[in-house]
Amino acid sequence: MCKTILQVKLTPNSTKNAVLGWEDGADGEKVLKCCVTAAPEKGKANNALISLLATHYGIPKRRLSLLHGEKSRIKIIEIQDIEGISNIAFKR
């Protein structure tokens, strides 16, 4: 099973749910910038992010998990079994 790790910068309470693109993070690594309309309370924004990424990349939500950053704007997301996904493209 192949896994991919994404570093995501999330903006909650936005006017739209969107994947905005890649930007350089503070550590020099690429960060995927996303925004969601959900509030950052009781995991709502995190759940909205998982749904957004699943829809954006056309993969089941069960393949995505939040590894780190539950209460931070910077999230570490793991995508499992990426080899079985033919239509995913990570553009940097």
Instruction: Inform me whether the pLDDT recorded for 1 exceeds 50.
Output: yes
Percentage of the chain with pLDDT > 90? Answer: 75
Average pLDDT over residues 50-64: 95
Q: Domain limits of the chain?
A: 3-79
Q: What is the pLDDT of residues 4-56, one digit of tens each?
A: 899 999 999 999 999 999 999 888 889 999 999 999 999 999 999 999 999 99
Instruction: Inform me whether the pLDDT recorded for 63 exceeds 60.
Output: yes
pTM, two decimal places: 0.87
- For 35-84, the DSSP string reads E-SS-SSTTHHHHHHHHHHHHHHT--GGGEEEEE-TTSSEEEEEEE-GGG
User: At the topology level of CATH, where does 3-79 sit?
Assistant: Conserved Hypothetical Protein Mth637; Chain: A; (3.30.1200)
